[in-house]
Amino acid sequence: MKDVAIVGYGPVGALLANLLGQAGLSVAVYERDTAVHPLPRAVHFDGEVMRIFQSAGLAEHIALATRPSSQGMHFVNATGQTLIVRRGIDGPGPHGWPNNWYFHQPMLEQILREGVGRYPHVEVHLGHEVSNPSELDARYVVGCDGARSLVRRAIGSQACDLGLHQPWLVVDLLCDPSSRRVKSLPDYTIQLCDPRRPMTIVNVGGARRRWEIMLMPGDDPTRVAESGKFWPLLERWLGPEDARIERSAVYTFHSIVQQGWRKGKLLLAGDACHQTPPFLGQGMCAGMRDAANLAWKLSAVLRDGAPDSLLDTYESERAPHVRTFIELAVKLGAVLQETDPDAAAARDARFAVGTERFDYPQPQLGRGCRADAPPPVGTIFPQPRLPDGRLMDEAIGQRFAIVGETELLASARADSVLLPGVGADWLASHRVRAALLRPDRYVFDVAA
Ligand SMILES: Cc1cc2nc3c(=O)[nH]c(=O)nc-3n(C[C@H](O)[C@H](O)[C@H](O)COP(=O)(O)OP(=O)(O)OC[C@H]3O[C@@H](n4cnc5c(N)ncnc54)[C@H](O)[C@@H]3O)c2cc1C
């Protein structure tokens, strides 16, 4: 019998397989398709996700195949007024890495799969569709099987609908780098809040650029993805002489958090248990955070003798966290997707006082391991550099760690990694003398 069976080898299943393989667990992965899905969906991940890749030993490799960005995301109206900006960050962000990365999803998934190859105790079965997850011969089964999850049906989860469902056309272009019009495109992401046709425009990296185009009443969803239909919508920026079409397809964006991420040995992660409209570029990121949360708990239970009830803290911690991101995406979606000209004018007037600026939220985990302790318990600890030049997590590995005042930790003895003097600014700003960090770098507890 395997320790863990993973159903679905998309990005979330592949990351989880890496993290469990690294923990020494025996794993079987089952994937219906025979190769990486060739069409990209996600194009962006954040600094916390890069830090998770770092913990899986894959950050350097992934950094070479992705585009870091110090730029933010600009919500701009039809006349060019900037309504809202998600700020960019120059240099390393709080997680020790640039805070925004743009990528080609099939390439990222390929690197994650190559990473799994390091672990002989992780078996991958491609071209294998699971029809009954309860029958898999494993102590736990994790459904990373996407939005139409079979494992979710077996659990009987209930969808909590946060209200946004909207079809959008996604067009990926391979642009001619010598084109004058291509050169004049901005590096930052544009959310074009034009009531006649809301759009998102992203520089994915290399020759790749993406246009996400909201479908309007009167569009024929079966024909709008045809090149003759969408090129006129792009003519303000580019024409067929400037770029080659990589693909075009219609997706319906949803905003859903499931209730019921676990039943007995069955668990869910990724799109199987939540879906967000992509306006913050956070859907896959949330799934990666699920994998990081679940991986250390599964290894604590299966390897280190922690009680099985530890796994019940997974949903109660993660669901409110991901919900914060989805609610923000829905709120931004309401700004972006406004198609009534009068309502759009009233919206623009609200921002006439000045551009609103925001950063990604860093919410507290829901009740779980932290019970009801207030922040900073249950928030992610930053990743500073150590005096020897290494990033903090390099010194910790997949373990618990204590950061604290030097004199306090000087004589301490613990099973955890001790990091005296690390994170002094953070400790001072929270008026605490030490913090116990979990293997996923969320704060387990603090000591005043
Ligand atoms: C247009 C668009 C843009 C997006 N942009 C971003 C972005 O910029 N940033 C971001 O973070 N997210 C973004 N997302 C969301 C992101 O693409 C998803 O959240 C992510 O791909 C989900 O990963 P997953 O591994 O959970 O599921 P999936 O990628 O859907 O993988 C599920 C896998 O399970 C397999 N499977 C299903 N059922 C079975 C079965 N019974 N047996 C065996 N295998 C099975 C499937 O074949 C599939 O390979 C975007 C989404 C869209 C649509």
C-alpha 173 – ligand 1 centre gap (Å): 21
The amino acid present at 326, given as its one-letter code, is I
Report mean pLDDT in 10-residue bins for the chain, 448 residues. 98 98 98 93 96 98 95 94 93 94 96 98 98 97 98 98 93 96 94 97 95 94 89 94 95 97 98 97 98 98 97 98 97 96 96 93 92 93 95 95 92 86 95 96 95
DSSP secondary-structure letter at 385?
A: B
Q: Whose CA is nearest to atom 4 of ligand 1?
A: 42
Six-digit token pair at 128? 């294998």
**DSSP-assigned beta bridge partners for residue 191:** 75, 200
Instruction: Say how far apart CA 252 and CA 215 lie, in whole Å.
Output: 10
C-alpha 373 – ligand 1 centre gap (Å): 33
CATH code 3.50.50.60 region(s) in the chain:
2-67+99-161+255-320
CA distances from 97 to 69, 196, 286, 448 (A): 10, 38, 18, 29
- Could you tell me the CATH superfamily of domain 2-67+99-161+255-320? FAD/NAD(P)-binding domain (3.50.50.60)
Instruction: Say how far apart CA 274 and CA 157 lie, in whole Å.
Output: 11
DSSP secondary-structure letter at 364?
A: P
pLDDT of residue 416: 84
C-alpha 11 – ligand 1 centre gap (Å): 7
Angle CA 300–306–311, to nearest 5: 75
pLDDT of residue 410: 83
pLDDT of residue 278: 94
DSSP secondary-structure letter at 213?
A: E
Looking at ligand 1, which atom is closest to the CA of residue 275? 19
> Does ligand 1 lie within 6 Å of residue 33's CB atom?
yes
Q: How far is CA 358 from the centre of its chain?
A: 18
Instruction: Say how far apart CA 434 and CA 445 lie, in whole Å.
Output: 9
Q: Whose CA is nearest to atom 1 of ligand 1?
A: 41
Strands of 221-336, DSSP E: 243-259, 262-263, 266-268, 274-275
Whether the full predicted model's pTM is greater than 0.95, yes or no, is yes
C-alpha 276 – ligand 1 centre gap (Å): 11
> Does ligand 1 lie within 6 Å of residue 44's CB atom?
yes
Instruction: Say how far apart CA 214 and CA 193 lie, in whole Å.
Output: 11
